[in-house]
Amino acid sequence: MPISFFLAAAAAVTGAADGDILVTASLEPVLAQNAAVSATVFDEKRINALGEPFAVDLLRFTPGVSVSASGGYGSQADIRIRGSEARHSLLVIDGISFNDPAASNLARFEQVTNDSLGRIEIVTGPQSALWGSEALGGVVAVSSPDPIGAGLRARAAAEYGSDDFRRGSAALVTGTDKAGVSASAAWSKGDGIDILGGGTGDKDGFENLTLNLKAVARPGSDGELGIVGRYVRAEVEFDGTDPNTFLRADTGDASRTNTGAIRAWGRLGLAPDAPWSFEVGGQYLHSRNRNRDGATALNASTGDRLKLDAQLIRRFTAGDTPHSLIARIEREDEEYDTRDQQYFGATDKNVTRGRYAVVGEWRGDWGTLLSTDVAVRHDSFNRFKDATTWRANAIVHLTENLSAHAGYGEGISQPSFVDLYGFFPGSFVGNPALRPERSQGYEAGLSWSDQMFSLGVTAFSNRLTNEIVTVFLPSFLSSTENADGKSRRRGIELTGEVRPVEGLRISANYTYLDAQQQRVTGTAQLREQRRPKGSANLFADYETGPLTLGASFAYVGKRKDTDFDIFDPVTFESPVVTLGSYVLAGARVAYAITPNIEAFGRIENAFDDKYQDAVGYATPGRTMYAGFRVRLGD
């Protein structure tokens, strides 16, 4: 697909508009035009216009991001940022680290609903110097609306469509400049599809219930107290493997996840130019995953994470240059339990781990010409080797509209509990000697922006070492180890946005990715799987009077994958196959029948493209939906 098509169409998601705030570009929110990072922002207006039910559907449109979904709604969806592994993305929801300690610390993006969200922000490239483990590929930050000064808004929506898909949500946001509350509930359920394909198996459905509550109070002129809680109950049916042949089969497998999290904080020094700011906070997450085959319980895993933090900011001006010095400390403890009926308790475990972290960041805005940001972090782990990570970025405003940025960042991803302690003693054993995976990343780019048009180009190069890989032992056991080779991920991202008339935004991006894996030093590098060399997106939202329109096109190039249903008894290897390219097209049309009632319809995979994100797993064809929304307030 020609790059010129997307550049001619305009658009840029990478980099928010001037005056916008980036939350995860620093330990403190910063102006987008002074942040030397690659970032993508989906605001509330765009989220509503596109109408996608889950966050993973919007992440597809982000430059440098590839999605591998093993079925329809609710099925496992792996996100790979700039060629990184699925376990290398950090998910943050309302300031809570939401990677699941009960599921190998994966971010469960398929469970994050878009209903009642205020914002999705994606910062790509290694960010561990600020955000710690799992921020090796990048950070995805999701937030509910800020209730302070919001007035009164209420929303309710219902939708029905293909495959008996049902969706309902309700949200309330109310607040003054002193206190506010936002609350939301979202539910969706569908019969799904036969993800094994072929049309002969049963459908694999899903259900998701998400509850969210945020309360913020500012009792004084310069202080803030806040609390936020989130609960997710998600259930998905899927086709697993035959217990005798170990091949993919039409099974009755299902998984149910219950995740609850809460965060509280207190802060002094709210103004962005306050000489001193101090914040303390704590968060707790509990997750329980239960697997079954039909009505037969198989196993369950439980994860708990407690995290305490404190942050101090000193702001001052030297000459004409404002500086910010930020110091942060963290303490995190995790616990992982497993119980099974399938193997009569052979996989039962109860293990823990913890870490301390100290972080320092220095930001400087050198007039209108230059902004710099340097950060360092040291993580002290109690189960494996400590890690120190760095980040340094700079952005130069060459003219009023043209800027150049460059940066270096490091990332780490700690071994999961399964990596360390194994799963089944007679099959997969852990390796307590593992070290955290590490990445070093560079990027540089140019961007142009004015009131109507923006365009950007960014080149990046990341090197992964200590990659945790699966190995097969002579005793017919499997385990994990740190590879001694170096994997490289390099590429170019082109982005742009055009705003030709009021209310219309057209965005587009193209990514070229060269991702190569090397497990053993000195051997050939092999192309990484489930990562397209070329991907492109074009999407838009438009609002005029009672009419709201949203449309999207996502192109995904050819990818490699391994077909584990085929096994060579001599080489003990399965063949690598090629998955074909595809285009996903979607649209949503909404019309306000009255000032308070809106009717809408939308379509997904409008071209009915037959595609696979993972070999052997079907995905939905053309689907259509319709519904209505009731709203009060602005």
Query: DSSP letters of 505-562?
Result: EEEEEEEEEEEEE-SSTTSPPEEPTT--SEEEEEEEEEEETTEEEEEEEEEE--EEEE
User: Are residues 369 and 354 in contact, defined by beta-carbon separation less than 8 angstroms?
Assistant: no
DSSP state of 254: E
Measuring CA to CA, how many Å separate 137 from each of 86, 111, 123, 312, 344? 9, 20, 9, 27, 38
pLDDT on residue 570: 63
**Residue 410: is its pLDDT beyond 50?**
yes
Top mean-pLDDT range of 14-18, 65-69, 70-74, 195-199? 65-69
Cβ-Cβ contacts under 8 Å for 50 (sequence gap 6 or more): 58, 539, 541, 550, 552, 586, 588
Cβ-Cβ contacts under 8 Å for 94 (sequence gap 6 or more): 142, 143, 144, 212, 214, 228, 230, 263
Q: Which of 133, 91, 138 is nearest to 110 (CA)?
A: 91
pLDDT band at 10 (very low <50, low <70, confident <90, very high): very low
Residues 449, 452, 457, 462, CA torsion sign: positive
Amino acid 186 reads A
pLDDT band at 519 (very low <50, low <70, confident <90, very high): confident
User: Are residues 11 and 507 in contact, defined by beta-carbon separation less than 8 angstroms?
Assistant: yes
Q: Specify burial of residue 443 (Cβ count, 10 A radius: 0-12, 13-18, 19+).
A: buried
* Average pLDDT of the residues in 325-343: 94
Mapping DSSP to helix (H, G, I), strand (E, B) and coil, where does residue 162 land? Answer: helix
Backbone torsions φ then ψ of 45, nearest 5 degrees? -60, -45
pLDDT on residue 478: 87
Q: 545: phi > 0 → left, psi -120 to 50 → alpha, else beta; which?
A: left
Mean pLDDT of the chain: 92
pLDDT band at 3 (very low <50, low <70, confident <90, very high): very low
pTM of structure: 0.94
**Residue 345: is its pLDDT beyond 90?**
no
Cα Dmax for the chain: 74
pLDDT on residue 426: 73
pLDDT in tens, 99-137: 999 999 999 999 999 998 999 999 999 999 999 999 999
**Residue 344: is its pLDDT beyond 90?**
no
| Length reported for the chain | 634
Q: Which residue has the higher pLDDT, 497 or 201?
A: 497
pLDDT in tens, 434-463: 999 999 999 999 999 999 999 999 999 999
Cβ-Cβ contacts under 8 Å for 432 (sequence gap 6 or more): 383, 384, 420, 421
| DSSP-assigned beta bridge partners for residue 464 | 439, 487
Measuring CA to CA, how many Å separate 100 from each of 274, 289, 419, 580, 631? 36, 10, 15, 31, 34
- Cα(281)–Cα(306) distance, integer angstroms: 11
pLDDT on residue 199: 61
| DSSP-assigned beta bridge partners for residue 70 | none
Structure tokens at 365: 């805005």
pLDDT on residue 14: 44
CB count within 10 Å of CB 545 equals 8
* Average pLDDT of the residues in 575-592: 96
- Cα(229)–Cα(114) distance, integer angstroms: 16
* Average pLDDT of the residues in 601-625: 94
What is the side-by-side strand order in the sheet with 119-124?
38-43, 119-124, 138-143, 89-93, 96-97
pLDDT on residue 13: 37
What is the separation of C-alpha 108 from the centre of its chain, rounded to a whole number of angstroms? 8
pLDDT-above-90 percentage for the chain: 78
Measuring CA to CA, how many Å separate 441 from each of 127, 286, 407? 9, 32, 8
**Residue 523: is its pLDDT beyond 50?**
yes
pLDDT band at 5 (very low <50, low <70, confident <90, very high): very low
Q: 348: phi > 0 → left, psi -120 to 50 → alpha, else beta; which?
A: beta
Q: Which of 171, 67, 51 is nearest to 122 (CA)?
A: 67
| Angle formed at CA 20 by CA 14 and CA 26, multiple of 5 degrees | 75
* Average pLDDT of the residues in 315-336: 95
- Cα(45)–Cα(634) distance, integer angstroms: 12
pLDDT in tens, 30-60: 998 899 999 999 999 999 999 999 999 999 9
* Average pLDDT of the residues in 350-378: 95
Cβ-Cβ contacts under 8 Å for 309 (sequence gap 6 or more): 280, 281, 282, 328, 329, 330, 331
**Residue 259: is its pLDDT beyond 50?**
yes
Structure tokens at 229: 């809680």
- Cα(349)–Cα(345) distance, integer angstroms: 9
Measuring CA to CA, how many Å separate 2 from each of 8, 9, 508, 512, 586? 10, 12, 13, 12, 20
